[in-house]
Amino acid sequence: MMSRERKKAAAALQEKLKILRSITHSHALSDTSIIMDASEYIKELKQKVVRLNQEIACAQNALRQNAYPTVTVETLGGHGGGFLINVFSDKTCPGLLVSVLEAFDELGLSVLEATASCADSFRLEAVGGENVDEHVVKQAVLQAIRNCSEDSSEHDEE
């Protein structure tokens, strides 16, 4: 006859095997088969972790290598119209903010409000009051960024 403690331990083990069976979606009935299914499930999870870590590393490398600036231009609704321009570049160079603002000026854009950061990367959000041709503004900003980058790389070579 089993002692009370052994029965309690056996019941606890059966409960844990039941939980393990449900977690691993095992249809096995024997204890050994449940444990084997759990072992296979753990191997599959480890493979998924490796694959996901590889995907994350690839995505991070792609982001690091993507030094292309992004420029979005939105026309704002409402009575006066207006625009919202967002500029982001992984790289910044001396005078980039000035170059972008000069591009706005050359297009005749009135910036009503702007937020900029020029530390490690370049970010600019500008709001203006008139309607704009989104494509023309985007191309002008990208050209200003290219010009600034070229000027800065020429100075680096000197």
**What is the spatial distance between Cα 27 and Cα 34, in angstroms, rounded to a whole number?**
8
Q: Region 88-107: what's the mean pLDDT?
A: 84
DSSP class of residue 24 equals T
**What is the spatial distance between Cα 84 and Cα 50, in angstroms, rounded to a whole number?**
41
Model pLDDT for residues 45-60, shown as the tens digit of each residue = 999 898 888 888 776 6
Predicted pLDDT at 122 = 83
Predicted pLDDT at 32 = 93
Percent of the chain with pLDDT over 70: 85
Model pLDDT for residues 102-150, shown as the tens digit of each residue = 988 898 888 888 888 887 778 889 888 777 788 888 899 888 888 877 7
Predicted pLDDT at 157 = 46
Handedness of CA 133, 136, 139, 140 (dihedral sign): negative
Question: Contact at 8 Å (CB) between 142 and 99?
Answer: no
Gyration radius (Cα) of the chain, Å: 30
**What is the spatial distance between Cα 98 and Cα 111, in angstroms, rounded to a whole number?**
13
Q: Region 95-100: what's the mean pLDDT?
A: 86
pTM of the complete model beyond 0.85: no
Higher pLDDT, 25 or 153: 25
